[in-house]
Structure 1
């Protein structure tokens, strides 16, 4: 078999593998989004406003923590966990400048402190209201969350 046919066959196999990976990412995201208590939430470890550092993802409420999964990943394990007593929302703001193009349309940015080092969360206003209610509904004695 000529060398160029091996090259064509290799490209075909790589294209099929790329399509399968893309399908797996789509199936994983669909599954996570259909989980009860799931919502879109982007995270950022930087404190300064700007487009740098934002990672798109899906968060899912648990009994004692919010689990966060990257949007474009094959992992079925959460990348970050935000325990209820270790999240403090300090304020909220609208995305500024190029940051608005980095995030999903209509999202607001909440500045926070977490044990995982995440400094900003971006989500829809209704999801932020739900997160604030979830944080405030902590059982007595489980830590105090400063909520704005």
Structure 2
């Protein structure tokens, strides 16, 4: 086998692996969207200096965040709805993150203090806010 043939085989294998990864990411996105709407979002943990791009899903009792590049259908981070608080975005405070135009930065906090900072598109913030402020299904049903 000549050097040119070896290089061609390596390039072919690389292209096939890239195509396989793209198909898996596409199938994962469809699988995640089957369980509720997904929104682009970035998260920044208190101990981390960088933003990580991902997908945010509002569940009935929790907020799930999925990393963009992973293939698993399990959430990378989950925050339970009960005890979760979200700050209001500061006026004029936007963060520049590729893939999120004019993202608003808000703080998620819970009983243990600050959990993370979220960067969401301005049209998504009211949905997250209303989801958080509404009562979870079945919560305080038998109040007399």
* TM-score of the aligned structures, taking structure 2 as reference length: 0.75
1:65 aligned to which of 59, 62, 67: 62
* Cα distance in 1 for residues equivalent to 2:23 and 2:118: 28
* Distance in 1 between residues matched to 2:114 and 2:72, nearest whole Å: 21
Q: Give the 3 Å change call, closer, same or farther, for CA 34–106 of structure 1 in structure 2.
A: farther
Q: Give structure 1 regions of 4+ aligned residues with deviation exceeding 6 angstroms.
A: none
- Kept in 1, the 8 Å contact 2:54–2:68? The answer is yes
2:101 to 105, 110, 133: 105
Q: 1:4 to 1:126 in 2, by over 3 A?
A: closer
How many residues were matched structurally?
135
CA spacing shift, 1:44–1:118, aligned 2, 3 Å: farther
Query: What secondary structure is seen at the aligned counterpart in 2 of 1:100?
Result: strand
User: Deviation string for 1:45-70 (max 9, x for gaps)?
Assistant: 1489xxx4111111112111011111
**In 2, Cα distance between equivalents of 1:102 and 1:118:** 23
Q: Give the Å deviation of 1:5.
A: 2.1
Cα distance in 2, alignment partners of residues 74 and 106 from structure 1: 27
Residue 119 (str. 1) matches residue 116 (str. 2): yes
Counterpart residue number, 1:146: none
Rounded Cα–Cα distance in structure 2 between residues aligned with 1:105 and 1:137: 27
What runs of 5+ residues in structure 1 fail to find an aligned partner?
142-148
Aligned positions of 1:49-88 closer than 5 A = 52-88=49-85
Contact kept? 1:65, 1:84, Cα under 8 Å: yes
CA displacement at 1:24 relative to structure 2: 2.0
Cα distance in 1, alignment partners of residues 140 and 129 from structure 2: 16
TM-score, normalised with respect to structure 1:
0.73
User: Relative contact order (alpha carbons < 8 A, sep ≥ 6): 1 or 2 greater?
Assistant: 1
